[in-house]
Amino acid sequence: MLNLDHPMAKHIFAAAQMEDFLLVSAQRMTLVPSTERLAILVDCHQALDEMRRLNHEQFSASQFISDAIADAQESLEQIANLGGGNITENKVDGEGDCASCGSAITKFETYPQSDRYVIVCHQCVRPFMQAKSKLQSSQGFRTCFI
Ligand SMILES: [Zn+2]
């Protein structure tokens, strides 16, 4: 459990917010047409820049975090450019198969009876999930302790 009185706590929470933003963006990118993916990617680049600034100012410019951010950026660009940038189908309703890899789209409720769903192609989002684990780790932003 994170010590909320620790001076680093607010910076760790700030990192967690950016990680969540990237996660939601990565999940959505696996579902939408290529043109929309590229628009989402622009916002991701902004969040990644904020993460770099946070790393520089509050996490002693950690090389590990810097590498994890680079991995996250690469994975997001990879997802944005799947299908050679020619995907026109929209799968945000969670029905059917992924327009890029053909896997079944996953749809599940975030909490039982919450009526809020996570919809994603688990196969296509995988590279980002690996980068995210690195960002969250004890060598990263330590957001795994929240
Ligand atoms: Zn897929």
- pTM given for the model: 0.95
Residue % of the chain over a pLDDT of 90: 88
Tell me the per-residue pLDDT of 91-119, one tens digit each, with 9 for 90 and over: 999 999 999 999 999 999 988 888 899 99
**4, pLDDT greater than 90:** no
| Averaged pLDDT of the chain | 96
Report the alpha-carbon distance of residue 146 to residue 13 in Å, rounded. 8
**1, pLDDT greater than 90:** no
**10, pLDDT greater than 80:** yes
Determine the pLDDT at residue 110: 87
Report the alpha-carbon distance of residue 117 to residue 114 in Å, rounded. 8
Could you tell me which residues are beta bridge partners of residue 119? 107
Ligand 1 centroid to Cα of residue 145, in Å, is 30
Q: Which two tokens stand for residue 136?
A: 């969250």
Ligand 1 centroid to Cα of residue 111, in Å, is 24
Averaged pLDDT, 71-82? 98
Q: What residues contact 115, with CB distance under 8 A and at least 6 apart? A: 109
Question: For residues 141 and 19, is the Cβ–Cβ distance under 8 A?
Answer: yes
Tell me the per-residue pLDDT of 27-54, one tens digit each, with 9 for 90 and over: 999 999 999 999 999 999 999 999 999 9
Report the alpha-carbon distance of residue 103 to residue 68 in Å, rounded. 27
Ligand 1 centroid to Cα of residue 41, in Å, is 17
